[in-house]
Amino acid sequence: MNADELRARAAAWQADDPDETDRAELAALLADDSPEAAAELADRFAGRLIFGTAGLRGAVGAGPNRMNRATVTTATAALAAWLLGRDPAAANAGVVVGCDARHRSEEFAAQTARVLAGAGLRVYLLPSRQPTPLLAYAVRYLQAAAGVMITASHNPVGDNGYKVYVADGAQIAPPADTDVEAAMDLVGPSTAVPVAPADSPLISLVGDEVAQAYLDAICAELGPAPQGSAWLRLTYTPLHGVAGQLALRAFEQAGYPRPDVVEAQFAPDPDFPTLRLPNPEEPGALDLAVAQARRSGADLIIANDPDGDRLAVAIPDPAAPGGYRQLTGDQVGALLGWFLLERLAVDPGAKLSEQLVVSTVVSGSLLSTIAAAAGAPYAQTLTGFKWIVRAADLRPDVRFCYGYEEALGYAVTGAVRDKDGISAALAVLAVAATASQAGQSLQDVYDALEQAHGVHVTAQVSVPTEGAIDVMSRLRGAPPPDLGGDPVRAVTDYSGGSDLPSADMLGYQLAGARVVIRPSGTEPRIKAYLEVVELVTGRTLAGARLAADARMARLRAAVAELLR
């Protein structure tokens, strides 16, 4: 697209943009002759935001490649057309709409509600600044046809997003997402989309009853706090996100002591002033919590991400910087899976042979080993909770018990068909309190798991690149004969489909190790997920860990070189 075509497209978008602020933003860019403004304009019109992980996500700003009121209007009109085209009864069942505290989230949620009502759909509008798991729960609780959550989850400060749930309470999945994507092409000018007034009788403002029902449901499934939990010292932070108030209510209702809150990060703030990136996986994200935990002598640190659907956990470790070490998602995933299966094992009404536990192809394998030892079925899915929570849907012999993915996401109850950082926090507290009753720590519990099932070390290699498709093509054409000095025993190409839907992903199996490589779904980079397993038999646990760490170092170096 040459400069004249670009400016013509921008002017056409500006004329059709329903938002005065966005129109002014484009006008300023069009009036600016600098190379920076030209590059910015080109990026905004390089394409259109497309449905990725359950919806749209991108930087807030004017233009088709940005999150703005016009983009939200088009997406919502397409969603409404898709819902009504499938089932006219969706109009009365309605759509639940919620939002987090990101920049313009409330505006986008209000626009979503008004466009849905303009299409004749009933709308349940949640109170503003609520966590994503509450929206996921509300879809089934209110028996709605769908849900829309305005959130960018843990993306950078300037982003926002539009996340869609369907009637089963789970994230939208293929082919529905591509159908909505195709419907966006048919919407036409956003200013021509019917928009109901904010006080439309089709829009109902939801009170606290849904939040209380959610708390009742997760507390009932996970049970009250174990005896002795009053002595548990906890530091908690929602990282400037929206989970804080609901999480504190959950802790209190379950019977846990009020945590020592990181006050500087408790109130929702879309600028995330104390964080470099609002992602609990990022180094330094828990620094304030660690400093506070060190002062109070906390037994445990837990943190939710900005929209409350993920959970980070850190435990005391004198050898770690600051005296606390963050557990990996795979470590927490194994701990929670073991704990939930242990509880079911003593429940006379539960059959372990019917309790399905689930993780993904890029997550660690310790959960599968724990499940096998317990006699529980295990399933592996592609990355994403739209796959994880549906793993039992077509299997009449099992029920979904638990699922996780390594990126700090856990589904520990049947109340929410998505990852839920608040119920997961309750489950972690239950593990810690139960261990404390026996004079143990979370580390002691995890040590016992690795003593029994082997040391499982996982890691990631992430390489920025605009040519991820070329890297994947090169690897398919010339698979490596070995990695880190160990022969590659088998290669799995997931693009051809197998027991799983087709995905642009490669897996390499080595003796006691594996590597999975895929392009990122949200960033211009390629990612590799590594695991090394060392059995403890004939040596100490410490010795097995040293051997696993040494092997992982070699494997990481080899994979980093492979992806260059």
For residue 234, pLDDT beyond 90: yes
Residue that wins the pLDDT comparison between 349 and 254:
254
Structural contact between residues 120 and 202, judged by C-beta atoms closer than 8 angstroms = yes
- The mean per-residue pLDDT over the stretch 378-385 comes to 95
- The mean per-residue pLDDT over the stretch 423-447 comes to 96
- The mean per-residue pLDDT over the stretch 182-205 comes to 96
For 65-78, the pLDDT digits (tens) are 999 999 999 999 99
Residue with tokens 């002033």: 273
- Is 200 an active-site residue? no
Percent above pLDDT 70 for the chain: 99
CATH architecture designation of domain 212-323: 3-Layer(aba) Sandwich (3.40)
* Other beta carbons less than 10 A from residue 202's beta carbon: 18
- Answer yes or no: CATH 3.40.120.10 is held by domain 51-207: yes
Report the range of poorest mean pLDDT among 30-34, 64-68, 532-536: 30-34
For residue 4, pLDDT beyond 90: no
Which pLDDT value is given to residue 328? 97
- The mean per-residue pLDDT over the stretch 322-329 comes to 97
Looking at the domain covering 454-562, what would its CATH class be?
A: alpha beta
pTM of the model: 0.96
Structural contact between residues 214 and 207, judged by C-beta atoms closer than 8 angstroms = no
- Answer yes or no: CATH 3.40.120.10 is held by domain 330-451: yes
- The mean per-residue pLDDT over the stretch 258-271 comes to 98
Residues of the chain within CATH 3.30.310 domain(s) are 454-562
Out of 105, 128, 153, 462, the active site residue is 153
Which pLDDT value is given to residue 165? 98
Mean pLDDT, the chain, whole residue set: 96
CA distance 450 to 246: 34
Q: What angle do CA 259, 341, 331 make, to 5 degrees?
A: 55
Which pLDDT value is given to residue 497? 65
Bridge partners (DSSP) of residue 303 are 237, 312
Residues of the chain within CATH 3.40.120.10 domain(s) are 51-207, 212-323, 330-451
Which pLDDT value is given to residue 349? 84
